């Protein structure tokens, strides 16, 4: 079954939520959006849901995203023993501890003196590189998105964390609010659904 979702003009995270609901109920979904952040959010949804993804510029500011839900036979090996083994591994992972998540909601650390706050947040992020294990995910929202910008004093440390396998989610709404769309230099532009889901699934949540 095929359906079309018109998410033009909707604020984050509505486009990705509508797309998620639609692909759960239909094998093929066309999503119309009018901004690149919505495209990236839905692209990440497609990766998580193992869906086919394509995007086309339809002109007039409209971007058309095609999602196709893959058949189980496309995702699973043919051998039945391999299927059982894969399912068993998935179940074991679900029962394990959740991820270690760090939340950066400001470009300073603590309240009081902003100069001191700058020094502290730089020291904190640099120290993350020394942790074992490293965080699984770092979430940047509100003024915290400024830490992921090109002129950020902690950009090198954040890039090293990404190279070490740390996932960095940068709030798209906050990026737009601070007009940083062309300045974000590290991490993935994300949405409130992914941020809330990541925080809810964390076994350790650290907010300096």
d(C-alpha 84, C-alpha 148), whole Å: 42
The model's pLDDT over 43-74, given as tens digits with 9 standing for 90+, comes to 988 988 888 999 999 999 999 999 998 764 44
Q: Rounded mean pLDDT of 197-202?
A: 93
The pLDDT value given to residue 86 = 31
The pLDDT value given to residue 78 = 40
The pLDDT value given to residue 115 = 94
pLDDT at 15 over 80: yes
94 band by pLDDT with thresholds 50, 70 and 90? very low
The pLDDT value given to residue 3 = 93
16 band by pLDDT with thresholds 50, 70 and 90? confident
167 band by pLDDT with thresholds 50, 70 and 90? very high
Best CA proximity match to 104, nearest among 203, 13, 201, 187: 187
| Helix axis angle, 114-128 to 155-163, nearest 10° | 20
Residue 83: partners with Cβ closer than 8 Å, 6 or more residues away: 76, 77
91 band by pLDDT with thresholds 50, 70 and 90? very low
The pLDDT value given to residue 80 = 38
The pLDDT value given to residue 17 = 86
pLDDT at 89 over 60: no
Query: Which domains does the chain show, CATH number per domain?
Result: 2-69 (3.30.110.40), 100-206 (3.40.1260.10)
pLDDT at 181 over 70: yes
Question: Across the chain, what does the average pLDDT equal?
Answer: 86
pLDDT at 95 over 50: no
DSSP string computed for 92-110: HHHHS---EEEEE-SSS-S
Cis peptide before 13 (omega within 30 of 0): yes
- pLDDT cut 70: percent of the chain above it: 87
The model's pLDDT over 118-149, given as tens digits with 9 standing for 90+, comes to 999 999 999 999 898 999 999 999 999 999 99
């Amino acid at each position: 079954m095929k359906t079309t979702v018109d998410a033009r003009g909707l604020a984050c995270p509505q486009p990705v939520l509508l797309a998620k609901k639609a692909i759960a109920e239909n094998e093929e979904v066309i999503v119309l959006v009018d901004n690149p952040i919505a495209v990236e959010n839905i692209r990440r949804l497609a990766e998580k849901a193992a869906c086919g993804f394509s995007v086309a510029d339809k002109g007039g500011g409209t971007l058309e995203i095609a999602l196709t839900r893959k058949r189980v036979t496309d995702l699973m090996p043919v051998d039945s023993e391999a299927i059982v083994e894969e399912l068993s591994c998935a179940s074991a992972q679900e029962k394990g501890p959740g991820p270690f998540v760090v939340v950066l909601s400001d470009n300073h650390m603590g309240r009081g003196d902003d100069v001191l706050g700058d020094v502290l947040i730089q020291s904190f992020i640099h120290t993350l590189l020394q942790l074992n294990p490293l965080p699984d995910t770092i979430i940047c929202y509100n003024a915290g998105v400024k830490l992921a910008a090109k002129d950020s004093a902690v950009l090198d440390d954040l890039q090293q964390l990404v190279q070490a396998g740390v996932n960095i989610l940068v709030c798209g709404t906050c990026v737009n609010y601070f007009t940083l769309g062309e300045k974000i230099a590290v991490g993935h532009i994300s949405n409130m659904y992914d941020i809330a889901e990541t925080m809810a699934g964390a076994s350790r949540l650290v907010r300096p």
